[in-house]
Structure 1
Amino acid sequence: MTMSNESSPRLRHLLDLVSLPASRMDALLRRAQAFADGAQAPTALAGVAVCTLFFEPSTRTRLSFQLAAQRLGAYILNFDASTSSVTKGETDLDTFRTLQAMGARGIVIRHRIDGAVAALAAAANPDVAVFNAGDGRSHHPTQGLLDMLTLRQAKGEDFSKLKVLIVGDVKHSRVARSDLHALRALGCGEIRVCGPASLLPEDDTLAGCQVSHDFDAALDGVDVVMMLRLQRERMAEGLVASLEDYHRDYGLTAARLRRAAPDAVVMHPGPMNRGIEITDEVADGPQSRVLTQVANGVAVRMAVLEAALAPA
């Protein structure tokens, strides 16, 4: 859970979007937009140590959290599991406690196991805030927020008339789950989900969504197309027949995109498998907001870090 108080300006932790009230989400998005517009807060976290504790690889999330903290005046501690005492058998909890003992007040964690970030947050000292940078297939709250900021910039704050399509491996995607929670909380009018049956969840993740296995039909008239990375390891599990088949059935091409609304925007959390779930002409085309998402990641993470760590 997020462990925040809606009436308090201070964010305790950010572990998911499920328990984040819509009003708090809106406040974070407004502050992020201010940062995106050039607002400065170079001393907001002066003297504060922020550590990126990543047990999985990352490019966009790790670097944008580091840049966000730096722009707020924080000290940055970059933890690399492959060169740490984790390789000697140190537990995740002992590593976390070591960082706390060194004075880290903000700890940004990515972990391969569902629930691992929340478990570490439960061991946090009262003056330490934990930020989930992606755990297992469960949550990626700052990605959900930056996607909502990107949508607001493209389509306005009223989501009630929007038709949003999420395509691909939803079953294993923490990004999709966070986006779905955010879209519901912000009143999205219609959420469509499309992918092969083997890559769609069987639980209540898709409650209230229009689910389809026909990509062409699902695209008709949508305002937003959110593509997800095909996790190639799913091929080894037999969940995808071949890359060629997947691209034929679920790859977004310029021709396919013409089925969407004329002013539809395309999003992708990255990294992209070009030529598989998305073609170059779409990824780099005028309707793509992929690099806008990357830029918004810094602004959103600045807003989140400030809300949790800046002096009251």
Structure 2
Amino acid sequence: MKNLLSMEHVSPKEIEALITRAIDIKHGRTVMKLNDKTVVNLFYENSTRTKLSFEMAEKNLNVERLPFDVSTSSVSKGESLYDTCKTLEAIGADALVIRHPDNKYYETLGNLNIPVINGGDGSGSHPTQSLLDMMTIYEHLGQLCGLKIAIVGDIKHSRVAKSNAQALTKMGAEVYFSGPPELQDDALNIPQITIDQAVESCDVVMLLRVQHERHDAYNNMAKEEYNQQFGMNTKRMNKMKDHALIMHPAPINRGVEITDEVVEGDKSVIFEQMTNGVFMRMSILESVLDGEGSKTNAFEKRYAVTQ
């Protein structure tokens, strides 16, 4: 796999291979040591989980990390993303991990000759989050094809919702959206259900953060009111199927889209998602830096997933 830009560009076979490898790494199978590789993480937006899990993944692979701070770089002098990336390529970086506020920023990097891993672009895509989410679902439920999965909340501004809808549908899951009508995205052509329909019928309910920094809608609504209308709480959790999972990409507005007791409840795999983020990003880095990851596919043989 040369780049990881959007789940639109990743085939089911590549998804299977990345999940397989991430699970292998998690269970202690041999990890590549990429001592001769150098990666730069360019985060033009704030990040905790994605940035630090990439750093941990790089550390575990013995990848050299060149520090990059937007505030102290030539970006402050007006340097374009393209010129910054070409500079890093010229001085010897082997790959770039980029988070940027512009949707599809990677379309401006066509003349770059080193791999790019998209750590999130505006409200467009978040492919590494989607992959770690699918890994987590598969570990618990043993399949992706045929599952009913509800993504609930601020769909319009969520790159996680878009990437997961694309990828899970590609893998044979039935995907539904739910949440405030004003925050839905009809252009995605995903059927909509209520939160109460979701908790009673779905195998996975994935809550999304209300993104106050991207819009003003619902900023003035009392968090209890939002939760009662659109969120997850103990009453709803108790109506879910015995095997069903509760997920959230975080950061979490506790008490808004999900209550405290549910975050760390029996059905929640939220912190496991974070743990799996390191293993999935190791799998992705191996694939991009070594060039062999996308050629392996023991997924169907070893885990018997039905396409």
User: Displacement, 1:164?
Assistant: 1.0
CA distance in 1, matches of 2:107, 2:3: 9
Q: Is the 8 A contact 1:223 1:263 kept in 2?
A: yes
Any runs of at least 4 consecutive aligned residues in structure 1 with deviations exceeding 3 A, and if so which? 238-241
2:7 is paired with a residue of what secondary structure?
coil
In structure 1, the partner of 2:9 is 19
User: Displacement, 1:118?
Assistant: 3.2
- TM (norm. structure 1) is 0.89
User: Displacement, 1:48?
Assistant: 0.6
Which of 138, 154, 162 is 1:177 aligned to? 162
The one-letter amino acid of 1:106's match is A
Greater RCO between the two (CA within 8 Å, min separation 6)? 2
**Alpha carbons of 1:311 and 1:210: their partners in 2 closer, same or farther (altered >3 Å)?**
closer
CA distance in 2, matches of 1:311, 1:181: 24
1:65 is paired with a residue of what secondary structure?
helix
Counting only pairs closer than 5 Å after superposition, residues 226-265 of structure 1 correspond to structure 2 as 226-233=206-213, 236=216, 238=217, 242-244=221-223, 245-265=225-245
How big is the alpha-carbon RMSD for the aligned residues of Structure 1 and Structure 2?
Answer: 1.6
In structure 2, the partner of 1:89 is 78
Which of 206, 221, 240 is 2:201 aligned to? 221
Q: Is the 8 A contact 2:198 2:205 kept in 1?
A: no
CA distance in 2, matches of 1:105, 1:243: 47
Between Structure 1 and Structure 2, how many residues are aligned? 291
User: Displacement, 1:243?
Assistant: 3.5
1:146 is paired with a residue of what secondary structure?
helix
Gaps of 5+ in 2: 293-307
In structure 1, the partner of 2:128 is 142
The one-letter amino acid of 1:35's match is I
Percent identity over the alignment is: 41
CA distance in 1, matches of 2:47, 2:150: 25
1:78 pairs with 2:59: no
Worse-matched range after superposition: 80-89 or 168-177: 80-89
User: Displacement, 1:241?
Assistant: 5.3
**Alpha carbons of 1:53 and 1:88: their partners in 2 closer, same or farther (altered >3 Å)?**
same
Deviation per residue, 1:42-98 (Å, 9 max, x gap):
42x111101101110111111111111221121012322122221122221221111
In structure 2, the partner of 1:276 is 256
Which of 110, 117, 131 is 2:117 aligned to? 131
Which of 115, 118, 138 is 2:104 aligned to? 115
CA distance in 2, matches of 1:305, 1:234: 30
User: Displacement, 1:146?
Assistant: 0.3
Which of 202, 207, 211 is 2:192 aligned to? 211
In structure 2, the partner of 1:195 is 179
CA distance in 1, matches of 2:214, 2:9: 30
